[in-house]
Structure 1
Amino acid sequence: MSLTTTRSLALTAVPAALLVALLPPLTADALPGPAARSALSWEPCAGTGGADPRQECATLRVPMDHADPEGAQISLALSRVPAEDDGARRGALFLIPGGPGGSSLDDPSGKGQKLPQEVRDRYDLIGFAPRGLAPSSSVDCGLEHGDLALTKLRPWPAPDGSIDDNMATAERVSDACARNGGELIRHLSTANNARDLDRVRAALGERKISAWGVSYGTYVGVVYSQLFPHRTDRIVLDSNDDPDPTRVARAWLAGHEQGVEDVFPHFAAWASEPGNPDRVAETAAEVRPLFLRLAARLDREPIPWPGANPEELNGNVLRQTMLDSLYRPGRYPTLAKLMLAARSGTVPPAPPAPPEPVLQNVTAVGAGTLCNDVAWPRSAAAYRKDVTGSRAGYPLTAGMPRNAMPCAAWPYEPREAPVRITGRGPSTILLVQNERDVATPLSGARKLREALGRRAVMVTVNATGHDSYLADGNACGDRTVSHYLATGERPDGDVYCRS
């Protein structure tokens, strides 16, 4: 997960036997051949702007509550670009988005077209908007405008380390979601996302699916592989979440501590390069203390910032900008420019924000999924202790990764325990992971690799940024993943790709 979604820069078990009883597992290998018979009605997509004209759209009805399959139904919006060679076609490749709160509806004609020809020849590329996310049946908590600020959605403590405001925000957001979120918000969860995907698989007429899951999508993909192991063909998990079943999203949030420490030196080297128009210091060693001094000064003396949310540049806004900017090197100038402005006592133009209805929807999906996946502590004292330790050990993130999100006051108990990821099942999983990733750090990916045991092989890429496959120009990593998707051949063991 990253907790940042793909739709917004603003912005984790029922026993397996019970689940597979819904649709008995099939162990026969998926075979190449023409498209399977689909129960879906595919039509030209409406309102998709620059989408590939080959992209088609459909809607599938699935149970709101998979424990009550004949009860209330919700809609899932789907998209596809068919395989480009009927004679080579193998099946369907699900493009599982990040989030929670991300959509892959545009991905078959977007990032899916970056896939090499031999992969596009073999697979129908399948995108979707997960449950709760428009244009699928959607949820909205009706939050106050101020609570949509990134510094509220990420629980940055007050400058003195107090979390009183964070606990108050958790109560306010949770109350709004209970009041406005409807019945669907209680049924948002990673396990239900995985069950929805199996309903899509069945509607497509496929015995097995392949998948490319990114960020939070890796957790959806691995949960699917755990619940429906014999329905998986070739599974690629890219930028991987820690699968800790006792913490789930709490572990993902905590991972930002190490993720920032892994990536900040790379930013510091860039931000001190001679000739860089956004250079902030003469040496890399000066960048970190400069950032900490600027954040502390903005804690004491915020600068008015009309049009922003909040309407001031304070220390936590700078810290949140740092976190966002470390997602990929292409965003480094945003942080450097803000540091230069803060040093001179000015601000740049207020950053553009997504439309508020999109933010409301994405935020509700994120809160509902994270809070329904696992119970979070309710004690403010527990968060205060964790935040104090985090601030001392990781000053760049100032305690945020150990702080209270809305889940600390969530009005509903999880309806089921998190899925425990194990090594039981077919060896069909390939992990690909950048060495320096602020959102899903290598340390968390290694925990997923360990949990999967013989089921997985991991490709570690010498690259910086969130998202690895086809994102960083690492020929070794891209070639290894593409070869697996096209042929099913994985490396014999874990691989390190230097370039």
Structure 2
Amino acid sequence: MRSTTLAVAVLSMLALTPATEARAAALDWQPCKGTALAGLDCATLTVPMDYRTPFGAQLSIALSRHRATDPLRRRGVLFTNPGGPGGSGLEMPSGYADQPISQVYDIIGMDPRGVGASTRLSCLISSWRPDLPSRPTDADLPVFTAYARETEELCRRGGGDLRQFITTMNTARDLDRARAALGERKINYLGVSYGTWLGAVYGEMFPQRLDRSVLDSALDPIKTWHEQDDDILTTIEANFTRWATWAANRDQTFKLGTTPREVRASVDKIAEAVKTKPIAGFRNIDLFDENVGISTRSRPLWKEFGETMSQALGEISGAKSDTAPRSRTDRAVATAREDIKATRNGVFQTVTCEWNWPSNVEDYYADMRRARDHFPYGDTVSYMAPTNCTFRSFTPEPLPKIGPARYPTGLVLQGDGDTNTPYVNGEVMAETLGSSLVSVAGEGTHGQYANVPDPLMGFPAANPCVDNAVNAYLLDGVLPGSRVTCQSTNPPPSVPFDGPPRSVG
């Protein structure tokens, strides 16, 4: 596996003759078009579709740049990636423009191959929108399989020959082509979520080309994509238990129970009622389960969610319905749906198939039943369901094995309570690479560096502890200790304790 990947990587580097690099360096930077990219420069890079045939079919890669504001202190380029896979990265440099790193780095954004302004990969869209319930009956389970099969078939037909070349490894090669085009000997890197895996792969393939590296909210480099879903389910339930403990400490306010077990029983009672009629604005059990997962993850929503659950119990007893307290909660749910939609493109449904997926649907069904019966909140069943990758119609390039970093020690950031990339994933990434780990305790957000609060939500708030650690490293090469903990800046709202507080965790 490893030798095949490295051999292809060598071919890609051999294709970069001095003349090729000289031609590539003449990127035509122009002011970007569009309000979202205001203040940035944009350019297009041409790369091989298949690096085994570097002079064959070519793809266009869209790049953006925020130039270092203090040229005398400039120390190179900082490539960024927002994750997904399938996220557009052209706007990312603007997100770091107010950080001190923008003074010394040309910050580079990129729409990876298949995405946005780059050569796009598309799946055909089906008119079939099956009901995929959060608590499926056994009779519902084959519907998940049918939908996954159709999704793969539509991606196969829509993606054509391009699909097999939309890979993490080829994106890493594209990064290195961009490095050469910029005339840089090395790059620095800041990746978020799936972007952490891309950064680790780049470092494995091109260790001599990577200087400083920040991996924010990391994947586990050892497990498959589906194996990490188990960690997500554990985190979703742990977030609920922490909220239930917090609410139990405040039973005089919420009246949901004096122990976490009693609070869970109250929520279960509401769920049973929602199955038969709308309660507290929840139209159905699917919406309710989704809301429970999001609200117990986001600590600033804990009070509002507790009030909603208290109101729901009142409605069950005959009180009048009032959905006013749920304004921020509903917005959080809508935002989560937008995030999912943004990454559910042809790239997501192709790149995630690089990992191996179980092929026996009965194994999925057993896991789905277990999630449904044990803890269905947070849409846990969907994580256990078959995906299009279960029926993968192409043979992907083998993934490289990530081992101890052969480049300078980097930095991994990981939030406790993050259900996109659970905390344990970041621990393994840091341990595998030998990187320093900055943990954020009591934090449910995804992405820890340079947070800007949503003006309507009021969170996530910036975390100076995290920002200072990243800035010290990227600016001056100063790493924190091998294991450092920052406290969350997005705590639950202040609600009086009933008595001596129990541990929330």
* TM-score (norm: length of structure 1): 0.79
Structure ranking higher in helix proportion: 2
d(CA) in 1 for partners of 2:147 and 2:51? 31
SS at match of 1:364: coil
- In structure 2, the residue matched to 1:258 is 234
The alpha-carbon distance between structure 1 residues 227 and 318, as it changes in their structure 2 partners (threshold 3 A), is: farther
Count of aligned pairs: 454
- In structure 1, the residue matched to 2:388 is 406
| 2:16 paired with 1:40 | no
- In structure 1, the residue matched to 2:366 is 385
d(CA) in 1 for partners of 2:311 and 2:401? 47
CA contact (8 A) 1:242 1:444 kept: yes
d(CA) in 2 for partners of 1:400 and 1:293? 22
- In structure 2, the residue matched to 1:89 is 74
Equivalent AA in structure 2 for residue 496 of structure 1:
T
% of aligned pairs identical? Answer: 33
CA contact (8 A) 1:326 1:438 kept: no
d(CA) in 1 for partners of 2:394 and 2:61? 24
| 2:12 paired with 1:22 | yes
d(CA) in 2 for partners of 1:264 and 1:498? 19
CA contact (8 A) 1:25 1:228 kept: no
1:86 Cα deviation after fit: 0.8
Match of 2:85 among 100, 103, 112: 100
Structure 2 segments unaligned to the other structure (5+ residues): 17-23, 452-460, 489-505
1:144 Cα deviation after fit: 2.7
CA contact (8 A) 1:157 1:403 kept: no
Match of 1:215 among 164, 186, 193: 193
Greater relative CO, 1 or 2 (CA 8 Å, sep 6+):
1
CA contact (8 A) 2:219 2:425 kept: yes
| 2:438 paired with 1:449 | no
1:380 Cα deviation after fit: 1.1
1:146 Cα deviation after fit: 5.3
The alpha-carbon distance between structure 1 residues 403 and 216, as it changes in their structure 2 partners (threshold 3 A), is: same
1:463 Cα deviation after fit: 3.7
- In structure 1, the residue matched to 2:438 is 459
- In structure 2, the residue matched to 1:491 is 480
1:140 Cα deviation after fit: 2.2
d(CA) in 1 for partners of 2:105 and 2:48? 27
SS at match of 1:165: helix
C-alpha distance after superposition, 1:277-299 (max 9, x if no partner): 9x69466735433444444554x
| 2:288 paired with 1:318 | yes
| 2:49 paired with 1:64 | yes
| 2:408 paired with 1:427 | yes
SS at match of 2:190: strand
CA contact (8 A) 1:161 1:388 kept: no
CA contact (8 A) 2:66 2:102 kept: no
d(CA) in 2 for partners of 1:209 and 1:161? 52
d(CA) in 1 for partners of 2:123 and 2:65? 30
The alpha-carbon distance between structure 1 residues 424 and 384, as it changes in their structure 2 partners (threshold 3 A), is: same
d(CA) in 2 for partners of 1:388 and 1:260? 17
1:24 Cα deviation after fit: 6.5
Equivalent AA in structure 2 for residue 112 of structure 1:
Y
1:184 Cα deviation after fit: 2.1
Bigger radius of gyration among the two: 2
SS at match of 2:346: helix
d(CA) in 2 for partners of 1:355 and 1:491? 36
Structure 1 segments unaligned to the other structure (5+ residues): 1-12, 27-36, 307-311
- In structure 2, the residue matched to 1:469 is 449
| 2:357 paired with 1:376 | yes
| C-alpha RMSD of matched pairs (Å) | 3.7
- In structure 2, the residue matched to 1:137 is 119
The alpha-carbon distance between structure 1 residues 466 and 413, as it changes in their structure 2 partners (threshold 3 A), is: same
SS at match of 1:433: strand
d(CA) in 1 for partners of 2:227 and 2:475? 33
The alpha-carbon distance between structure 1 residues 480 and 313, as it changes in their structure 2 partners (threshold 3 A), is: same
CA contact (8 A) 1:162 1:384 kept: no
- In structure 2, the residue matched to 1:32 is none
1:498 Cα deviation after fit: 4.0
Equivalent AA in structure 1 for residue 482 of structure 2:
G
The alpha-carbon distance between structure 1 residues 223 and 326, as it changes in their structure 2 partners (threshold 3 A), is: farther
d(CA) in 2 for partners of 1:94 and 1:289? 48
d(CA) in 2 for partners of 1:216 and 1:338? 34
The alpha-carbon distance between structure 1 residues 427 and 17, as it changes in their structure 2 partners (threshold 3 A), is: farther
The alpha-carbon distance between structure 1 residues 457 and 332, as it changes in their structure 2 partners (threshold 3 A), is: same
1:417 Cα deviation after fit: 1.6
1:261 Cα deviation after fit: 2.5
1:320 Cα deviation after fit: 3.1
